[in-house]
Amino acid sequence: MEQWIETLQQPWPWYVAGPLIGLTVPLLLWLGNKSFGISSSLRHICAACVPAGISFFQYNWRKEKWNLFFIAGILAGGFIAAQLLDNGAAVSVHPALAGELAGYGITRYDSLIPAELFSWQQLFTWRGILLMAGGGLLVGFGSRYAGGCTSGHAIMGLATLQWPSLVATCCFMAGGFIMANFILPFILSL
């Protein structure tokens, strides 16, 4: 049992984790003709909890309640992993990236996200509002505009050979490249 926990505490190589994620697509299709995706669950939650007469939320959300359990499992799994599987080791950051981030004042790697950018103290600064609230707004708008999120398009859509998912995934990748290499360094240098 202890060796099993030690295995879970280590990063898994791409050739193990990738196929496991990829196998969820045929498994969901085989078990119940279900589509993998995360962003639609917010719509299901709003349809269940908001009794307003908004036509977008007027559908039979109960048919999709499995998706809500899926999301609850993701949250529970993340909590369990953070509480029980933390190996206590510092987050490993490539030296070249650490040097670049140090130029922006980011030097601590106590967790997966740098506290100099993502903390309650940073949230109420202009940079925190821009990165967290502005970024959240853009991600929400983008996933609604594209008809799904990155996991839905890149995993489910590509696996089922959908042309719009290929276009959306290419746009997600281009946007991520532009953000990581041009926009984020500009924001961090201010």
DSSP the chain: -HHHHHHHHSPPPHHHHHHHHHTHHHHHHHHHS----STHHHHHHHHHH--S--GGG-S-GGGGHHHHHHHHHHHHHHHHHHHHS---PPPP--HHHHHHHHTTT----SSSS-TTTSSHHHHTSHHHIIIIIIHHHHHHHHHHHTTS-HHIIIIIIHHTT-HHHHHHHHHHHHHHHHIIIIIHHHHHH-
Domain that holds residue 70: 1-86
Do 184 and 126 share a domain, yes or no? yes
Domain end: 63, 86, 109, which one?
Answer: 86
- pLDDT classification of 138: cutoffs 50, 70, 90: confident
Q: Considering the domain boundaries, does residue 18 fall inside one?
A: yes
* pTM of the predicted model over 0.85: no
Tell me: do 73 and 10 sit in the same domain: yes
Q: Which of 71, 86, 101 is the last residue of a domain?
A: 86
Tell me if 94 is assigned to some domain.
Answer: no
User: Residue 177 above 90 pLDDT?
Assistant: yes
Q: Is residue 105 part of a domain?
A: no
Q: For residue 76, is pLDDT > 90?
A: yes
Round the average pLDDT of the chain to a whole number and report it: 84
Asked if residue 122 and residue 43 are part of one domain, the reply reads no
> What is the pLDDT confidence band of residue 82, given thresholds at 50, 70 and 90?
confident
Q: Does residue 20 share a domain with residue 78?
A: yes
Query: Is residue 112, in this structure, part of any structural domain at all?
Result: no
How many domains does the structure of the chain reveal? 2
